Every structure is written in C-alpha cells, then in structure tokens.
Chain A
Amino acid sequence: MSKAGSAFVVFLLLLGIYLVYTGTTNPVDVIAGGVAAAVIAALSADLVVSKPSKVFDPRRWVAFVIYAVKYLTVIEARAHLDVIRRILSPSLPVDPAIVRIPYAVSDDYAITTIANSITNTPGTVVVDIDTERKYMYVHWIDAKTTEDEGARAHVSEEFENYAKLIFEG
C-alpha cells in the first residue's frame, strides 16, 4: 500500500510538471505524459517518497504556501537589497566568517529545504554539513555573531521552523 501510495504521489508530481511545461491538455500530451510519469514513478517511488500520507496533509500545504510566499517576497527582497547595497557601496563593507549553525530536523527534505533556503538568500552560503552532529557550516557575508546559537537565530531559525512544519514527522 505504501509503495503504491508513493508511486501515486510521484506520478501526480511528474504529470503535473509535464502538463504545466507543455502548456496543453491535448489527449496526446496527457497520454504521453501519463505513461512516462507512470514508468518513472514505478521505478523511483521508493527513493523519492517514504511516507505518502504526509503529502495529503492540508496543514503541511498551508505551511508550505505561507513559507513560499513569505520567503520569495519579504525575505529574498530584504537579503537582495542588503547584498546589493554592499556591492555598490564604495567602501565594500563586508565582515565575513564561516559560522557553525546547529539544526534539529532529521528528515532529508527538511534538511535540504533549510540548506537551499540559506544558500538562496544572498549573503549566506552553506559550505559544508555534518549530518551526524547536525551542524551546517555557513559562510556569512556580515557575521553579526560567531556563536552557534546566535548565528542560528539570525540565519536559519525561521527556515527551520517552517521546514519542521512542512516536512517533519
């Protein structure tokens, strides 16, 4: 059951991407996309989805939409303006450091979401990650603090809270 559920989730995702990408609902496209999606889903379902019931939990989707909107508007705009100001300012004001940021999630998707969110915000780049001790090493263009918990509060706490709501459990 779980395997069929996983395959169904992957199938829906792939078919959705295919139909949005082609931009048509021709029977030919729907059938071709459906067959391709079904084959790939049957082959890769185990690797991609482990608990398909999580996908159909509306609370996770609400958290995801809130996070996506907030991240892509407010957080990105603020970070872009900050780095653009540094690039264009004549004195080039940077104070970089590689800080160590602890995280407390264990789901692979949640870890990836946090790392991608950090890197996609200008001003912070994840350099390396230690999944055993649960630390991310982050290059920060303007290190306000080099303490672990202080850096976490500045850089990743918000991402982590949403990643927990969306993917954990």
Chain B
Amino acid sequence: MVTDALTLIGQVLGCLGLVLALVGAVNDLIAAIGFVRFKNFYLRLHALTVGVIGGTFYPLIGLGTYALFCIAPPLGYYVAGVSYVTAFFVLITAPAGSHAIARGAHRAGYRPEPAREDKLAKDREEGVME
C-alpha cells in the first residue's frame, strides 16, 4: 500500500518533470521569436534570458526529476545528477556571460536605441564612471 502510494507520487512528479521540459521547449521557441522581433542588442538580451532560464534551466530540472523517479536507479540517478548539476551551473554562470557582453557592447559605444534614458552613458560623459 505504501509502496503503491510512493510509486504514484513518483509518477506524478515524473509527469511534472515532462511538463517542465515541454514548457521549456515553448519558451525556447518564444525566445527565438523575440530574437527576430527585437531590433536592438539590449532588447535581445531579454529574449536571451527567456531562452536561458525558461528554456534551459527549467527543462533540465524537469528532466532530472523525471530521471530520478521514472528511470531505473543506476542510470536514473546518473542522469538526474548530471541534469541538476548542469542546471545549477547554468543558473550561476549564464548571467556572467550576459553581464560581459552587455558591458562590452556599452563600452564599445553601442547605445540602446530607442531608450528613455541612458544613465550609464551620461555618467561616463560626466566622468564619474570610468
């Protein structure tokens, strides 16, 4: 009886994992559409974030959960571990890449157009920001 309940819970969690993977695929598609529709580098970075977090991080978590509960142990643990660790490193390293290219673009003189205000360019002109 208890094992039945545990199996059921495991299967529900596995299905939730698959749902996360599917949501990730949709997010990736929308991020790609955003890449085409946004005409400015900085705006495209926001579409990129949708692709990285919604389209990579969450599907990896979902895949790991599915593997943990629905794939037989030795292989399941292996796939789940790889998925979770990769998801963790995507979460903490992807923004570092975004920071680097955004900073590089702005320092190279590429300005956000259109923009209501660009305080970074203003502070650079005033010399308070290197």
Which residues of A does B touch, CB under 8 Å?
17, 19-24, 76, 80, 83-84, 87-88, 92, 94-100, 115-116, 119-128, 130, 133, 135, 137, 139, 141, 143, 146
Is the CB–CB distance between A119 and B116 below 8 Å?
no
Shortest distance between the CB of B35 and any CB in chain A (Å): 9
The residue that B82 contacts in the complex, of A21, A76, A99, A115, with Cβ under 8 A, is: A21
Is the CB–CB distance between A98 and B37 below 8 Å?
no
Is the CB–CB distance between B115 and A116 below 8 Å?
no
Alpha-carbon distance between A125 and B50 when the two chains are bound, in angstroms: 12
Q: Number of A-B pairs whose CB atoms are under 8 Å? A: 143
Is the CB–CB distance between B82 and A122 below 8 Å?
no
Shortest distance between the CB of B26 and any CB in chain A (Å): 9
Shortest distance between the CB of A121 and any CB in chain B (Å): 7
For residue B9, CB closer than 8 A to chain A, the reply is no
Which residues of B does A touch, CB under 8 Å?
27, 30-31, 33-34, 37-38, 40, 42-43, 45-47, 49-50, 52-54, 74, 76-82, 84-85, 91-92, 94-96, 98-99, 102-103, 106-107, 112, 114-121, 123, 128-129
Chain B residues near A80 (CB-CB < 8 A):
27, 50, 53-54
Is the CB–CB distance between A98 and B121 below 8 Å?
yes
Chain A residues near B33 (CB-CB < 8 A):
87-88
Interchain residue pairs with CB less than 8 A apart (7): A92-B37, A99-B119, A100-B120, A116-B95, A125-B49, A125-B102, A141-B46
Alpha-carbon distance between A1 and B120 when the two chains are bound, in angstroms: 44
Chain A residues near B107 (CB-CB < 8 A):
128
Is the CB–CB distance between A84 and B50 below 8 Å?
yes
Chain B residues near A135 (CB-CB < 8 A):
129
Alpha-carbon distance between A97 and B114 when the two chains are bound, in angstroms: 8
Q: A20, A83, A127: which has the most chain B beta carbons within 10 Å?
A: A127
Given contacts A97-B117, A120-B94, A127-B103, contact A23 B82 (CB under 8 A): yes
